[in-house]
Amino acid sequence: MKALDNLTNEELISLQNDLEKELNVFKELSLKLDMSRGKPCKEQLDLSMDLLSVLDKHSNLICKDGTDCRNYGVLGGIEEAKELLASFMENKIENILIYGNSSLNVMYTMIMQAWVFGIMGNTPWSKLNEVKFLCPVPGYDRHFAICEEFGIKMINIPLYEYGPDMDMIEEYISNDESVKGIWCVPKYSNPDGYTYSDETVKRFARLKPKAKDFRIFWDNAYTVHHLYEEREKHDHIIEILGECEKVGNPDIVYKFASTSKICFPGSGIASLAASINNINDIKKHFKIQTIGYDKVNQLRHVYYFKNLLGIKSKMIEQAKIIRPKFELVLNKLDKELSNISCIRWTKPKGGYFISFYAMNGTAKEIVSKCAELGVKLTDAGASYPYHNDPDDSNIRIAPTYPSIEELEIALNVFTTCVKYVTVKKILNK
Amino acid sequence: MKALDNLTNEELISLQNDLEKELNVFKELSLKLDMSRGKPCKEQLDLSMDLLSVLDKHSNLICKDGTDCRNYGVLGGIEEAKELLASFMENKIENILIYGNSSLNVMYTMIMQAWVFGIMGNTPWSKLNEVKFLCPVPGYDRHFAICEEFGIKMINIPLYEYGPDMDMIEEYISNDESVKGIWCVPKYSNPDGYTYSDETVKRFARLKPKAKDFRIFWDNAYTVHHLYEEREKHDHIIEILGECEKVGNPDIVYKFASTSKICFPGSGIASLAASINNINDIKKHFKIQTIGYDKVNQLRHVYYFKNLLGIKSKMIEQAKIIRPKFELVLNKLDKELSNISCIRWTKPKGGYFISFYAMNGTAKEIVSKCAELGVKLTDAGASYPYHNDPDDSNIRIAPTYPSIEELEIALNVFTTCVKYVTVKKILNK
């Protein structure tokens, strides 16, 4: 196929007709496929079935420090769980708090505590006229939903392959005291799959915010979620809390992680890493908010993974299942769409998504066209604050959940829809 | 021993000397006993070990509706868990939401949502000059701690054997719009072990609060926690939500329960029952706050208990272990202290506590005297808002955690301390 840009009007019209016929063929298949969800597939879940019986082998559930995990007590997590998560997060045990099954819930809790009680003696955000968060875009829709729930004004920051626009971030936070936070998915970002460069992380650690209670919300959701086994194909990132400590700025970051997508999503353990000052501030509310989190489940994960090596070897098994899916999507896109210059997509080495950038002003129509044909994609704009992609260009592709066969058909539909909507757009210009 | 009230001054002084000698004997034992915690003992926890392996027998974790419990998805709980909790709470499935491992955390969340977002479109409590809660006393210290955290003003309401003073409650809530809630442990109350009478529950259901967003926080923590197997020895209570619906007042109550203290405390599942209006209001925030709660653990509890009968039979086993402990405490108190007219204690048929009322102005000293001798009791005043028992009389006794042998010694120490401090008080009058 000739590059779309070089086609004459007549050639474009003829192509449109051909594509319309292809779409009609898909329509008759009555498909029901889903590429919208960043969910593991069944085969990935099957990898962790031993997690369910790992406690059977133990005659009691007593921790190293004598705590009976079956009973009440212990806030902030059992030592063994802190050790496991600390190794995985590259932090010290004293900087770790263990929570329940959802790191999103931990992030929500941090915003709520800042909102109602204030951070480290600062004015509660609820008492301020305006609270703003910086949002590298595209980003994680559920981060933005939390801001929307609290009425926190979101400001888009462009995200590049090496991280967000640091000049813009420095400008905002050093001048505007109402800027209280920034959402970051620093490694294999959602949805682009980008990893912040060393320079980016170093500039984050050295931020000098006007607001004393400014916090970086560092959601390291995909820290061990590599697509390839070989270490040289992994993205690497500087550990942020250590870097912040090094430059005398330890309190500026809340770091989040969880075992979701390592074993069972939604049934794992989540954790927060932060400076001792922050940990002490958070603990004051912790003990009021809950009787503690599920220690039996913490011990279950400790016995199951044993150590960081256990986590890493599980991730190699996971990668074996999902890598072919990512490769299929990338190959398909390459084969079908590389001749359209106004279209691009990311080629991540980890994480859960491929980020597709359609011709400006066509993303919504592509997603709705796919839906008509039975292929569900994440809503266009979902990765932007207020669901508003100013370019109407980004589409988040989630390859993990469908089977290879389903993915192949879904990609046929998707690429045909992209071509059809793009040609239509060019013709209507 | 003669009734204390009838002793002459000389007899009292001589008794004080004898008691002092007894205390010195205890001191030399270097005891380390704990009657402070409403925690199950090891033998109770051992009853539920099969919970840990119950999922092994199932080749998959697919729910009735096709949901794979191992994956993301489903807010508010899987249907099976709702059914189990609904039967146990005597509510309809559509009125149930399933949460994580801590019902205290659910209560905190309800306060937080009212505080930040407001209930059903009403003004968020954070925007009001004052918010007050009524607190039947003595009550659960962690309820009061939540109010203290949010700066909610607490008002003591006397609690009687049949429930709190309803005249006083009606007076407050029908006249004062800033009264937004009341904490209730309606069955086997903490710490008295009282159960609200039918009339009390009916009056609760018929409350006509001035504040539209007034809610009864109905913490039914001990609904199946009977000490005796025979049904005629159980306390019974009218189901509050049904009663509220019957009289056209369905939105006035949030009802809480959990499986903690039925199997493993802190690793169970918690739930909320409320009107459909409330459920819809709560769900708006639910989906922002978390990706959902641990469905694997929900299914684990469903497979383990199967149904209400499973829960009830587990509670009979639990009762067999803790009943002798309650009886030991009651017998000891009866034997040692029944001759002191200014002292009384409750004789609960369920729950986790015995509530002891020392002579006014002596509770703190008794608790501290016991601590000196190595017997830890709940802090005097802990069961009152702001830790302030106006009479300095109430002491909460938690008999479940220590062994029978430990309990026997602890009670010897306790009753001797009570006698000693009481005699001292009488002499100093």
Whichever domain contains B286, its CATH number is 3.40.640.10
**Contact residues, A window 150-179, toward B, CB-based 8 Å cutoff:** 150
The answer for residues whose C-beta is within 8 angstroms of residue B40's C-beta and 6 or more apart is A71, B261, B265, B318, B322, B400, B401
pLDDT of residue B125: 98
| B370/B410 Cα distance (integer angstroms) | 9
Q: What is the largest CA-CA distance in chain A?
A: 79
Same domain, A252 and A160: yes
Same domain, A69 and A209: yes
Nearest C-alpha of chain B: how many angstroms from A300? 10
- Distances, alpha carbon B224 to alpha carbons A78, A306, B227, B269, B319, in Å: 30, 38, 9, 15, 10
Of A72, A115, A290, the CB nearest to B105: A290
The answer for residues whose C-beta is within 8 angstroms of residue B98's C-beta and 6 or more apart is B76, B77, B78, B81, B82, B85, B269, B270, B271, B293, B298
A264 touches chain B (CB under 8 A): yes
Residue A319 scores a pLDDT above 60: yes
Nearest C-alpha of chain B: how many angstroms from A298? 10
Q: Is A77 left (phi over 0), alpha (psi -120 to 50) or beta?
A: left
Of B71, B148, B292, the CB nearest to A45: B71
To which H or E segment does residue A254 belong? Answer: strand A253-258
To which H or E segment does residue A277 belong? Answer: helix A276-289
**Do B294 and A55 lie within an 8 Å CB cutoff?**
no
**Contact residues, B window 65-94, toward A, CB-based 8 Å cutoff:** 68-73
Residue of A129, A288, A297 to mutate, interface with B, max B Cβ within 10 Å? A288
Rounded to the nearest integer, the mean pLDDT of chain B is 96
Quick: pLDDT tens for A50-74. 999 999 888 889 999 999 999 999 9
End-to-end CA, chain B: 22
**DSSP per-residue string spanning B18-67:** HHHHHHHHHHHT---EE-------HHHHHTTGGGGTTTTT-S--B-TTS-
pLDDT of residue B58: 86
Same domain, A294 and A329: no
Give B-chain residues touching A105 at CB under 8 angstroms: 289-291
**B245, B277, B306 - which closes a domain:** B306
What's B358's DSSP letter? P
Give B-chain residues touching A76 at CB under 8 angstroms: none
**Do A71 and B112 lie within an 8 Å CB cutoff?**
no
pLDDT of residue B121: 97
Burial of A335 (0-12, 13-18, 19+ CB in 10 A): exposed
- Distances, alpha carbon B59 to alpha carbons A259, A267, B224, B297, in Å: 23, 18, 32, 16
Same domain, A188 and A298: yes
Q: What percent of chain A has pLDDT over 90?
A: 95
Q: CB–CB of B291/B135 below 8 Å?
A: no
pLDDT of residue B299: 97
**Do A45 and B150 lie within an 8 Å CB cutoff?**
no
| Per-residue tokens: A165 | 């626009």
Rounded to the nearest integer, the mean pLDDT of chain A is 96
**Do B289 and A42 lie within an 8 Å CB cutoff?**
no
Owning domain of residue A323: 4-44+312-428
- Distances, alpha carbon A114 to alpha carbons A100, A349, B224, in Å: 20, 35, 38
| Residue A57 backbone dihedrals phi, psi, to 5 degrees | -75, -10
Same domain, A224 and A130: yes
A139 touches chain B (CB under 8 A): no
Nearest C-alpha of chain B: how many angstroms from A377? 17
Same domain, B346 and B291: no
Same domain, A95 and A13: no
In a domain, A53, yes or no: no
Residues of chain B with pLDDT under 50: none
Nearest C-alpha of chain B: how many angstroms from A37? 9
Give B-chain residues touching A150 at CB under 8 angstroms: 116
Size of the A and B interface in Cβ pairs below 8 Å: 146
**Contact residues, A window 183-222, toward B, CB-based 8 Å cutoff:** none
**Do A267 and B73 lie within an 8 Å CB cutoff?**
no
Crossing angle between the packed helical segments A276-289 and A103-116, to the nearest 10 degrees: 90
The answer for residues whose C-beta is within 8 angstroms of residue B366's C-beta and 6 or more apart is B358, B377, B380, B395, B414, B417, B418, B421
Q: Which residues pair with B217 in a beta bridge?
A: B183, B254
End-to-end CA, chain A: 22
| A82/A93 Cα distance (integer angstroms) | 6
Give the CATH number, domain containing residue A411: 3.90.1150.10
In a domain, B50, yes or no: no
Q: CB–CB of B180/B114 below 8 Å?
A: yes
Residue of B72, B78, B146 to mutate, interface with A, max A Cβ within 10 Å? B72
Residue A424 scores a pLDDT above 80: yes
The number of residues in chain B equals 429
Q: Which residues pair with B137 in a beta bridge?
A: B158
Q: CB–CB of A402/A144 below 8 Å?
A: no
Question: Considering its fold, how many domains does chain A have in total?
Answer: 2
Same domain, A385 and A400: yes
Same domain, B377 and B300: no
**A306, A325, A354 - which closes a domain:** A306
**Do B294 and A289 lie within an 8 Å CB cutoff?**
no
Q: CB–CB of B225/B261 below 8 Å?
A: yes
Q: What is the four-CA torsion angle of B6, B8, B14, B19, rounded to 10 degrees? A: 30
Residue (of A376, A319, A327) closest to A351 by Cα position? A319
Q: What is the 3-state secondary structure (H, E, C) of B217-267?
A: EEECCCCCCECCCCHHHCCCCCCHHHHHHHCCCHHHEEEEEECCCCCCCCC
Give A-chain residues touching B146 at CB under 8 angstroms: 288
Q: How confident is the model at residue A1 (pLDDT cuts 50, 70, 90)?
A: low
Quick: pLDDT tens for A341-375. 999 999 999 999 999 999 999 999 999 999 999 99
Residue (of A175, A176, A223) closest to A196 by Cα position? A223
In a domain, B54, yes or no: no
Same domain, A184 and A261: yes
- Distances, alpha carbon A385 to alpha carbons A142, A147, A149, B121, in Å: 10, 9, 12, 24
**A306, A323, A352 - which closes a domain:** A306
**Do A104 and B290 lie within an 8 Å CB cutoff?**
yes
| Per-residue tokens: B165 | 């003073």
In a domain, A51, yes or no: no
Same domain, A360 and A291: no
Same domain, B290 and B418: no
**Do B45 and A73 lie within an 8 Å CB cutoff?**
no
Give B-chain residues touching A292 at CB under 8 angstroms: 102, 266
In a domain, A56, yes or no: no
B112 touches chain A (CB under 8 A): yes
Quick: pLDDT tens for A141-183. 999 999 999 999 999 999 999 999 999 999 999 999 999 999 9
State the ipTM, two decimals.
Answer: 0.96
In a domain, B380, yes or no: yes
pLDDT of residue B4: 82
What's A360's DSSP letter? T
Of A102, A265, A297, the CB nearest to B297: A297
Quick: pLDDT tens for B270-281. 999 999 999 999
Give B-chain residues touching A296 at CB under 8 angstroms: 52, 264, 267
B352 touches chain A (CB under 8 A): no
| B365/A299 Cα distance (integer angstroms) | 41
The answer for residues whose C-beta is within 8 angstroms of residue B214's C-beta and 6 or more apart is B173, B179, B180, B181, B207, B252
In a domain, B51, yes or no: no
In a domain, B100, yes or no: yes
